[in-house]
Structure 1
Amino acid sequence: MVINLSEKYSLLNDWIAEMRDVEIQKDRMRFRRNLERIGEVAALEISRQMETVSKEVQTPLGISVTSVLKDQPVLATILRAGLPLHQGLLNYFDKADNAFISAYRKHNRDGSFEISLDYISCPDLENRVVIVSDPMLATGSSLVKTIHYLREEGKPSHIHVVVAIACTVGIEYVQREEPHATIWCGAIDEELTAKGYIVPGLGDAGDLAFGAKTQM
């Protein structure tokens, strides 16, 4: 299942527009905060699909019966670009366990690239709801490889993927490899360049959030 959060207007559309804007995106704090906001919106929407239990709460005047989350999810993100989006999810799922994965494109001299995964820190995922966040879903290679590594830590009951900008090519690849995952997108773009960049996209989310890096 694929959900485009900007298909129907909300304030999220404004945040996406600011992140894409070549001038506004120069404000790193604003860029990070907009990613964080998208994570918060996604957390709220995902929570509607999660299992709940009934709970009695003692108030100063009586008993209130309400529905609360049955189990906390595991929030997984791809370093470093995924950190602001992850923080937005964590702001709402504030009791969640967390997983961190270092995955990046290692570019070759001919312009091609490979997905390098150097580090993973993860709790037991057996029968857990796992929410994987990464700001850009381009080819989908790093995301799928990340999910495959996560599955080695247990079989999740369900996987949600949260991205700010997705490309249709990447979405289709993730759907082929992980057909039961739910993909939440801030916006969906159609074009992917030969070098694997989304157009119109927004640029390099990691660099925009944290500064330019040297290629290792």
Structure 2
Amino acid sequence: MIRDERWEGVYSFEDSPFIMEILTELRDENTGPIAFRKGLVKLGRYMAYEITKTMETERIKIKTPLEETDGILIADRRNVVIITVLRAAIPLMEGLIKVFDHARVGIVSASRGKAPKFEIEMKYVKVPQITEKDTVIIADPMIATGSTLIKVLDEVKKYGKAKRYVIVGVLAAPEGISRIKEAHPDVEMFVAAIDRELNEKGYILPGLGDAGDRAFGAPIKV
């Protein structure tokens, strides 16, 4: 896990050959929807393992069948709220919840409009009550302009003040990270990789295309 010096609390996993191999498959235009979804699930799971390293632990005493010994308990792992940004984040959430199996789950439907305004439309919000013990993890594969996540964070924070706010994504553009950190300085971000830039349409370069379309198929235009 690499801490990016450009921002406070922003981490990537470009030092992990396994995560980079999964990302390589996701980037490849020849990867079909089934493999793409499986890749997102794997990324969610292994990034969740890494995030547990940043959580507080407690020393506990247990008894084996032979004697008493020391163990640990990751208390924060039992106080997690996962916010899934539809639809691309569904497989990512599936991976996260394999590690954070006590998590309560919220759903947000948010879509970004076309350039240059990139207006955000939020049609559905279902978020559980948040407490000061909770780590709120917002799953969204592509952190491009940052507009969607800023609006999601604005909404989620109405449901209570959390101990931590964490964004988990696959790829991020520097422009999006900067905008999110400016609007919500308290948020932490964990992504597989930080890419070069955005193009004029707001897509990450080199990127991997539209994660939702690649995972579930492009919507039919009527």
Same fold by TM (over 0.5)?
Answer: yes
Task: Give the % identical residues.
Answer: 36
1:85-141 superposed Cα distances (whole Å, 9 cap, x missing partner)? 11111011111111111111234xx86431011111111112111111100000000
Match of 1:192 among 173, 191, 198: 198
Gaps of 5+ in 2: 1-8
Q: Following the alignment from structure 1 to structure 2, what is the Cα–Cα distance between the partners of residues 120 and 175?
A: 23
Q: Which residue of 2 aligns with 1:28?
A: 33
* 1:156 aligned onto 2:156: no
Aligned ranges 1:134-149 → 2 under 5 Å: 134-149=140-155
- TM-score w.r.t. the length of structure 2 is 0.89
Deviation at 1:65, TM superposition (A): 2.1
Question: Is the contact made by 2:118 and 2:147 (CA closer than 8 Å) also made in structure 1?
Answer: no
SS at match of 1:169: helix
Deviation at 1:30, TM superposition (A): 1.1
In the TM superposition, structure 1's runs of 4+ consecutive aligned residues that sit over 6 Å from their partners are none
Q: Following the alignment from structure 1 to structure 2, what is the Cα–Cα distance between the partners of residues 215 and 132?
A: 29
Match of 1:174 among 153, 174, 180: 180
Match of 2:212 among 200, 206, 209: 206
SS at match of 1:67: strand
1:56-90 superposed Cα distances (whole Å, 9 cap, x missing partner)? 33322223321112142111110110011111110
Question: Is the contact made by 1:76 and 1:98 (CA closer than 8 Å) also made in structure 2?
Answer: yes
Give the AA of the match of 1:142: T
Shifted more, 205-214 versus 110-119: the winner is 110-119
Deviation at 1:28, TM superposition (A): 1.2
Provide closer, same or farther for how the CA distance between residues 78 and 97 of structure 1 changes in structure 2, counting only shifts above 3 A: same
- TM-score w.r.t. the length of structure 1 is 0.92
Question: Is the contact made by 2:63 and 2:69 (CA closer than 8 Å) also made in structure 1?
Answer: yes
Q: Which residue of 2 aligns with 1:100?
A: 107
Match of 2:20 among 2, 13, 20: 13
Match of 1:54 among 43, 52, 59: 59
Question: Is the contact made by 1:53 and 1:68 (CA closer than 8 Å) also made in structure 2?
Answer: yes
Question: Is the contact made by 1:137 and 1:165 (CA closer than 8 Å) also made in structure 2?
Answer: yes
SS at match of 2:138: strand
SS at match of 1:131: strand
Gaps of 5+ in 1: none
RMSD, aligned CA: 1.6
- Between the two proteins, the alignment pairs up a number of residues equal to 211
